[in-house]
């Protein structure tokens, strides 16, 4: 989430807020249930022998974890890696700028990995690539500078769906890319349209409809984002317009259940206090009938600040990450936020449980991705922390970890 880049506190107010934090904590009561099963599977050692800043994970049927890092590698453009269940890590590919850099999404199809890089490629705006398990990489498509594509899902027929900036209106697209590399733009977003702009977090139903969020735009007074549906004919329907305040601001992360209900997070809005003057973020549900409701509003500490990714199990339990908040003793990194993030659980009644609050070094800090494993365990990556001998840019301690957590 560092590349999404937000900070809840301006530098001149951070000291003041920290002084008020102790008084604030006396006003809230919480009994976080720290998981006893948290386990660091691997700590990255950094460039140039390893990788730094792991961003994304997926699990193969044999239990192997595949992922990408945004930094590190031999050329500092990130790396693709495999992590066996026994903890053995292998670098599959070191990204070069011309072949993409900062891989931030991975999908699997037909025994190969397909993904997107947020930068690099032939034109500097990111690339779609194919990577086999022997480490052979092929660039399928390069985007113009500034696009920053991400892939979200596959139709199982060799087509992958994603979003990125740019497009004919300049403010983002939803696109389809075939395994051959052919890109088809499905919708263009514009700055002044009520449907919002900067699309992301795409999911699909069985009828070919795509659901997603725009990170910005929508309400002209707030420009806090929207939820939308894009049908196979290319017609877009606005499902919800965020207005700021209690309903949340800047939606990110979206999952859908079999009944057609959507669940997601907003990185700000909701509860405001001295820790989060702009709101600490919410988890929401948009029912299949179109009713919007808040499932949980974050308070900052100890429950976390700025939720940004969630997953859902078959029982309807939501699991997710917050970018900051949690343990107030964890305070490092260039953004100067309070806390280094948490892993949380939210049950069907709206009860939130803290599964892990990151302490900063050995266990990792600033979680980046979370997936639900085949046996019900959670796997994730942290941006920093881990090996204290590995540092990034002189401020981050540790180059990131891969962790396992059993709820």
Give percent of the chain above pLDDT 70.
Answer: 89
Which range (13-17, 305-309, 344-348, 362-366) has the least confidence? Answer: 13-17
> Is 2 a residue whose pLDDT tops 90?
no
Which range (21-30, 38-47, 98-107, 263-272) has the least confidence? Answer: 21-30
Query: If you average pLDDT over each of 21-25, 286-290, 338-342, which comes out highest?
Result: 286-290
Which range (6-15, 44-53, 65-74, 204-213) has the least confidence? Answer: 6-15
By the 8 A CB rule, do 307 and 253 touch?
yes
Q: Within 10 A of 266 (CB to CB), how many other CB atoms are there?
A: 31
Domain ranges of the chain: 18-47+245-407
Structure tokens at 303: 């429950």
> Is 77 a residue whose pLDDT tops 80?
yes
Give the distance between the most distant pair of CA atoms in the chain: 58
Q: Within 10 A of 294 (CB to CB), how many other CB atoms are there?
A: 17
Q: Residue 107 contacts by C-beta under 8 Å, 6 or more apart in sequence?
A: 58, 113, 114, 115, 151, 153, 154, 160
pLDDT tens for residues 10-20? 333 333 333 33
Backbone angles phi, psi at 14, to 5 degrees: -65, -45
Average pLDDT over residues 61-86: 93
By the 8 A CB rule, do 111 and 136 touch?
no
Which one is predicted more confidently, 395 or 281? 281
pLDDT tens for residues 304-325? 999 999 999 999 999 999 999 9
By the 8 A CB rule, do 308 and 266 touch?
no
H/E run at residue 16 = helix 11-25
By the 8 A CB rule, do 371 and 379 touch?
yes
CA triple 267-278-268, angle to 5 deg = 10
Q: Residue 85 contacts by C-beta under 8 Å, 6 or more apart in sequence?
A: 63, 64
Q: CATH classification of 18-47+245-407 is 1.10.8.190, yes or no? A: no
H/E run at residue 322 = strand 318-324
Backbone angles phi, psi at 406, to 5 degrees: -100, 115
- The alpha carbon of residue 354 and the mean position of all alpha carbons in its chain are separated, in whole angstroms, by 18
Q: Say how far apart CA 217 and CA 306 lie, in whole Å.
A: 19
Query: If you average pLDDT over each of 13-17, 141-145, 173-177, 348-352, which comes out highest?
Result: 173-177
Q: How far is CA 209 from CA 49, 114, 203, 233, 293, in A?
A: 43, 22, 9, 9, 22
Q: How confident is the model at residue 22 (pLDDT cuts 50, 70, 90)?
A: very low
Q: How far is CA 95 from CA 79, 105, 150, 357, in A?
A: 6, 14, 16, 32
Structure tokens at 111: 């025994």
Q: Say how far apart CA 303 and CA 285 lie, in whole Å.
A: 19
Q: Within 10 A of 192 (CB to CB), how many other CB atoms are there?
A: 9
Q: Within 10 A of 96 (CB to CB), how many other CB atoms are there?
A: 16
Q: Say how far apart CA 243 and CA 241 lie, in whole Å.
A: 6
Best CA proximity match to 357, nearest among 375, 376, 331, 335:
331
The model carries a pTM of: 0.89
Q: Say how far apart CA 7 and CA 324 lie, in whole Å.
A: 9
Structure tokens at 244: 């700021």
Alpha helices in 123-169 (DSSP H): none
> Is 3 a residue whose pLDDT tops 80?
no
The alpha carbon torsion through 172, 152, 403, 313 (nearest 10 deg) reads 120
Residue 97: predicted pLDDT: 79
Residue 114: predicted pLDDT: 96
Q: How far is CA 172 from CA 150, 169, 185, 327, 399, in A?
A: 11, 8, 10, 36, 31
């Amino acid at each position: 989430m560092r590349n999404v880049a937000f900070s809840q506190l301006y530098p001149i107010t951070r000291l003041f807020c920290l002084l008020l934090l102790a008084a604030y904590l006396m006003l809230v009561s919480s009994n976080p249930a720290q998981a006893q099963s948290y386990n660091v599977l691997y700590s990255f050692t950094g460039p140039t022998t390893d990788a730094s800043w792991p961003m994304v994970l997926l699990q193969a049927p044999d239990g192997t974890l595949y992922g990408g890092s945004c930094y590190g590698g031999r050329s500092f453009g990130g790396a693709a890696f495999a992590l066996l269940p026994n903890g053995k890590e292998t670098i599959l590919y070191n990204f070069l700028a011309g072949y993409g850099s900062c891989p931030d999404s991975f999908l699997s199809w037909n025994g190969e990995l397909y993904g997107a890089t947020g930068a690099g490629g032939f034109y500097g705006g990111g690339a779609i690539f194919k990577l086999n398990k022997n480490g052979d990489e092929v660039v399928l498509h390069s985007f113009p500078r500034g696009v920053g594509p991400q892939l979200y899902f596959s139709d199982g027929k060799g087509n992958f769906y994603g979003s990125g900036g740019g497009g004919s209106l300049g403010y983002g697209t939803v696109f389809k890319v075939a395994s051959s590399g052919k890109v088809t733009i499905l919708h263009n977003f514009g700055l002044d349209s009520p449907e919002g702009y900067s699309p992301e977090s795409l999911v699909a139903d069985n009828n070919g409809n795509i659901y997603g969020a725009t990170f910005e735009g929508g309400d002209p007074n707030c420009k806090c984002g929207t939820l939308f549906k894009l049908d196979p004919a290319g017609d877009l329907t606005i499902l919800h317009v965020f207005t700021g305040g209690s309903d949340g601001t800047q939606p990110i992360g979206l999952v859908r259940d079999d009944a057609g209900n959507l669940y997601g997070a907003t990185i700000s809005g909701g509860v405001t206090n001295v820790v989060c003057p702009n709101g600490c973020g919410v988890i929401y549900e948009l029912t299949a009938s179109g009713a919007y409701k808040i499932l949980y509003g974050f308070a900052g500490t100890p429950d976390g600040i700025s939720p940004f990714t969630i997953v859902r199990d078959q029982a309807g339990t939501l699991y997710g990450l917050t970018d900051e908040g949690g343990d107030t003793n964890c305070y490092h990194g260039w953004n100067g936020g309070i806390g280094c993030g948490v892993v949380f659980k939210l049950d069907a009644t709206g009860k939130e449980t803290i599964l892990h609050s990151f302490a900063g070094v050995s266990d990792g800090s600033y979680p980046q991705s979370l997936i639900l494993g085949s046996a019900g365990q959670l796997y994730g990556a942290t941006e920093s922390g881990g090996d204290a001998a590995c540092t990034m840019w002189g401020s981050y301690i540790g180059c990131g970890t891969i962790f396992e957590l059993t709820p």
